[in-house]
Amino acid sequence: MMNDAVQTMDAGSAQPGSEAPMLECRGVSRNFTVGKGVFSGKKNLRAVQDVNLSVKRGEVLAVVGESGCGKTTLAKMLLGLLKPSSGEIFIEGEPITDVDIRKIARKVQPVFQDPYSSLNPRKTLESIMSLPLKVHNIGTKEERRQMVEDIMAMVELPKRLIHSYPNQLSGGQRQRVAVARALIMKPEVILCDEPTSALDVSVQAHILNMLQDLRDEMNLTYVFISHDLAVVEHLADKVAVMYLGRLVEYGDKANIFSNPQHPYSQALLDSVLTPEPNKGIPEIALGRGFPNPLDPPSGCSFHPRCSKIMDKCSIDSPSMYDVGDRKVECHLYN
């Protein structure tokens, strides 16, 4: 209820045009109803709660957090594939609820984790990469072929592969196809959901470097979802740390990496300093596992794992505080 009020009040300031952020979330939440047992009943799962963030044109925002914290749910909402339960999302100042899904697709394109399952195994690279053009009625067959060849050159896929099928490619090549397919519509924003976590470390580095080069060449904005902080450190300008559906710290990458303020960010960053940074977030750094989202802890949802727990943490939910240059949702900063 409150989110709605805040969002309506603010809505006037979102003017289309160059001043508006490329992407903006205001009080965005998404709930799922789960369970259909006669005795267990239905439960409300709050996958994303009251997320506020904005991404400027050309910026790379990394969203980090453990499995199940709501990253993909947020991504799907940014793509217009899932409706927020409350709050609103804006693309260049325009609420996406007013924009049809095809128009969103021309501005925001996804690259998902598993390049194998996201590519149709029965289609050649040419038809996979030209499909978005066809759907949007862009160009003649020859023109589309040329655009596919151009984009293949940009992502460094050999031209000879144009008639190949996804299963004839390496993992890294498949992910290049996924990136090419996203780029062919010349979008403004690329939304990468764990784009390299299924790849070998050496291949990851190639893809990440390519994404960085493409950003400069095409003036792209990225939302980059990852649980791998080593990757984030390499790419991001801004970092949003999520815990159990909530944004708990949000600010410039350099500041968050050099001086994390939320105890959860501190634990996450400690995990980067372990000998195996690519193994994701080790349990040891955080003690017990991720809580059950259907039965979230009282007060601050991080309190059962927090090293700096105080009496009120299990009772009251903290607000988001401005701490210097960033935002932190923690009672320590009250």
Ligand X SMILES: Nc1ncnc2c1ncn2[C@@H]1O[C@H](COP(=O)(O)OP(=O)(O)OP(=O)(O)O)[C@@H](O)[C@H]1O
Beta-bridge mates of residue 23: 55, 91
# chain residues binding ligand X, by CB under 6 A:
13
In this complex, which beta carbon is closest to ligand X, that of residue 246 or of residue 326? 246
What part of residues 51-90 is at the interface with ligand X (CB under 6 A)?
A: 67-73
Minimum CB separation of residue 153 from ligand X in Å reads: 32
Separation between Cα atoms, residue 15 and residue 92, nearest integer Å = 8
| Binding status of residue 86 toward Mg ion by CB under 5 A | no
Binding segment for Mg ion among 68-76, 129-137, 265-273, 292-300 (CB under 5 A)? 68-76
| Binding status of residue 326 toward ligand X by CB under 6 A | no
Nearest to 253 by CA among 64, 112, 103: 64
Assess contact for 193 and 225: CB atoms under 8 A.
Answer: yes
Minimum CB separation of residue 28 from ligand X in Å reads: 13
3-class SS at 208?
Answer: helix
Among 72, 86, 173, 301, binds Mg ion (CB under 5 A): 72
| Binding status of residue 110 toward ligand X by CB under 6 A | no
- From ligand X, Mg ion, none, which one binds at residue 70 (CB under 5 to 8 Å depending on kind)? ligand X
Number of Cβ within a 10 Å radius of residue 103: 15
Residues in the chain: 334
| Binding status of residue 7 toward Mg ion by CB under 5 A | no
| Binding status of residue 116 toward ligand X by CB under 6 A | no
In this structure, what token pair is assigned to residue 14? Answer: 């979102």
Binding segment for Mg ion among 41-49, 69-77, 261-269, 294-302 (CB under 5 A)? 69-77
Among 293, 302, 306, 327, binds ligand X (CB under 6 A): 293
Distances, alpha carbon 258 to alpha carbons 149, 252, 255, 269, in Å: 42, 10, 5, 9
3-class SS at 110?
Answer: strand
Assess contact for 63 and 225: CB atoms under 8 A.
Answer: yes
Residues that bind ligand X (CB under 6 A): 32, 34, 45, 47, 67-73, 227, 293
> Given the rule CB under 5 A, which residues bind Mg ion?
71-72
